[in-house]
Chain A
């Protein structure tokens, strides 16, 4: 029973990371209809920013992380400005390939930056190594931090999208770009802002992931596991992305505990295929009809 609880808790904390990355996909997809295969790479870039500020430049943690957030957000907005905004109107295939190309390019470029390279790094954090013992189970503070920060971030995003002027404008943009443009919302800046927010969220995911999976060029591949999360929740649904992420995380941890070796690494994809076969619109999604 303790083992089970332990598995569930570490599943939830890894699931939070998937949820954050999936949240990034969904935000971008809802607003711009671009499916961003480079979301995991944005997470990697964010983690490397944080690593640079905190470990290489010795900034304090509480300054380094916000700086990395801003830096990654800016990076995401620039990516949109220079590449993806110019691709509106291209076929879905071309856009998918473009984001795959960006992902490949980012992985390669990051490995070339002096001080980053292909080595494995860690980010110094204030809660490293501390463990909370509660009713027979041990939870590391790092896992707790993941859960707390994710909850706070999702709450903050909820408040932002519901109660601020910019947030409501973004919601309008994602409902209908045309109508949003007619009522005077600057759709282009909205796109850049959404990319910025999405990249910033990915950066936080990267920082949170650092104690669990380190900072490495290929950490972006974890982003591919956020696809099952997004699909499970229904691709266009924000609550769905979070619930999907948590489910994928827990399923993955538990299959690592109870099922034969090797299932763990593909559990997320098996869930994905089952969902696609049984309920392609996901848990919270609505099926869209396309006009011919």
Chain B
């Protein structure tokens, strides 16, 4: 497997959706190709960073305005 073929497999690899033989060939390639190993590791890290639940918290003031607006709508609809 060459680098171009390896990169094409990144989605299947990250999603855990590869057939065993292809995965074995990819892992052999990653062991001997530092560049591809970096690309795979940092792509995985990219996804992890965007999924980090500690980032982009909902500010309390934004939450309060949301709940006030919803409560007002509910009260208006139940009159």
A and B: partners? no
Chain B contact residues, CB within 8 Å of chain A = none
Chain A contact residues, CB within 8 Å of chain B = none
